[in-house]
């Protein structure tokens, strides 16, 4: 089923996982999927490592497993910066052959080891191109704290509007730690006449190194309340794990009480984390 259709009828619950690089990690994926499927999510999205067809194959293999073994709708992430039209057509054919209906269309990031191809400069180019040839439901990424390359919020919102005008029917957000940032972002979307569902992405943070990495990659601001928790518990692994879980759960509960379109949980393929969060919201979603 198309995610746009799901979002028309209900508030969605979804998860993100990534394809394991090593065969030894495959068992972990099944453990994670067992936990996640128990909560009957509306979809599970599978990330895409840009550059090279083996990355694409791993994403598609995992998406097939989600669809056929677990009976859950997969969303396949697809980046475009390193592919030309012919390669994108090839991916689209494979997705169609496997009955995959939902694509999170992304630009991806430049890589020093893989040359950019010049057919697609932005995710909106990918959506326009694929939409003219296929019948997928397209999702797009959005950034409550602005995409790091954007010169200002206004330019970022204009580009987001282009993405929606090109055919993105649902937006999935970058992670954030401050719900107020997300609520203000939704207001900006509506002012910019972006009226598609915007699903907040939430990540349970379980160790200090991960927090630092996320802040540097995603430029997510850390509210004082959360900063105090990190400072207090950063040297006590188990305590920080508990505190990170509780913070994430309280973020989710606040979002759910504020009429948002759904929850998208970044699981990091960690069945313990996923299990703990799922248990905490079992009767709420």
Give the residues lining the site for ligand FAD (CB under 6 A).
47-48, 50, 77, 79, 106-109, 122-124, 141, 147, 149-150, 156, 159, 162-163, 172, 174, 201
For the bound state, the minimum distance from the C-beta of residue 147 to ligand FAD, rounded and expressed in Å, comes to: 4
Round the CA-based radius of gyration of the chain to a whole number and report it: 18
For residue 76, what are the β-bridge partners?
46, 103
| 75: its two tokens | 């969303």
**Catalytic residue status for 61:** no
The distance of closest approach from Cβ of residue 123 to ligand FAD in the complex, given in angstroms and rounded to an integer, is 3
Helix residue spans in the chain (DSSP H): 3-9, 26-38, 53-64, 85-97, 123-131, 153-166, 179-191, 208-218, 224-233, 237-256, 271-281
Query: For residues 144 and 233, which CB has a smaller minimum distance to ligand FAD in the complex?
Result: 144
Is 104 within 8 Å of 78 (Cβ atoms)? Answer: yes
If the CB atoms of residues 140 and 275 are measured against ligand FAD, the closer one turns out to be: 140
CB of 100 to ligand FAD, least distance (A): 15
Q: Residue 48 or residue 136: which is nearer to ligand FAD going by CB?
A: 48
**222 CB-near residues (< 8 Å, 6+ apart):** 177, 178, 211, 215, 230
Residues 6+ apart with CB under 8 A from 8: none
**Which residues are paired to 46 by β-bridges?**
17, 76
- Residue 107 or 276 with smaller CB distance to ligand FAD: 107
Residue tagged active-site, from 16, 73, 101, 169: 16
User: Smallest distance, Å, CB 119 to ligand FAD?
Assistant: 13
Bridge partner residues of 199 (DSSP):
172
Q: How far is 196 from 96, CA to CA, in rounded Å?
A: 24
- To the nearest whole angstrom, how small is the minimum distance from the Cβ of residue 62 to ligand FAD? 12
| Spatial separation of the C-alpha atoms in residues 64 and 70, rounded to whole Å | 9
Nearer to ligand FAD, 55 or 246 (CB): 55
Can you state the percent helix, strand and coil of the chain, rounding each to 5? 50, 15, 35
Active site residues: 16
């Amino acid at each position: 089923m198309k995610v746009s259709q799901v979002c028309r009828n209900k508030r969605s619950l979804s998860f993100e996982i990534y394809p394991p690089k090593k065969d030894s990690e495959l068992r972990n994926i099944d453990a994670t999927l067992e936990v996640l499927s128990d909560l009957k999510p509306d979809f599970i999205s599978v990330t895409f490592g840009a550059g090279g067809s083996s990355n694409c194959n791993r994403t598609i293999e995992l998406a097939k497993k989600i669809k056929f073994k677990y009976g859950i709708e997969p969303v396949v992430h697809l980046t475009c910066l390193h592919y030309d039209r012919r390669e994108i057509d090839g991916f689209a054919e494979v997705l169609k052959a496997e009955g995959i209906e939902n694509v999170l269309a992304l630009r991806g990031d430049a890589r020093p080891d893989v040359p950019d191809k010049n057919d697609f400069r932005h995710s909106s180019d990918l959506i326009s191109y694929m939409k003219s040839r296929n019948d997928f439901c397209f999702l797009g990424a959005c950034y409550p704290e602005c995409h790091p390359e954007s010169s200002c919020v206004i330019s970022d919102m204009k580009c987001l509007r282009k993405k929606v005008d090109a055919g993105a029917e649902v937006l999935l957000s970058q992670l954030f730690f401050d719900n107020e940032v997300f609520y203000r972002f939704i207001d900006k979307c509506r002012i910019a006449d972006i009226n598609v569902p915007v699903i907040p992405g939430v990540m349970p943070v379980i160790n200090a190194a991960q927090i630092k990495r996320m802040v540097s990659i995603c430029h997510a601001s850390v509210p004082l309340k959360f900063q105090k928790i990190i400072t207090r518990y950063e040297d006590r692994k188990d305590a920080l794990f508990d505190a990170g879980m509780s913070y994430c759960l309280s973020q989710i509960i606040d979002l759910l009480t504020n009429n948002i379109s759904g929850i998208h949980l970044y699981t990091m393929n960690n069945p313990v984390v996923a299990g703990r969060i799922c248990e905490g919201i079992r009767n709420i979603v």
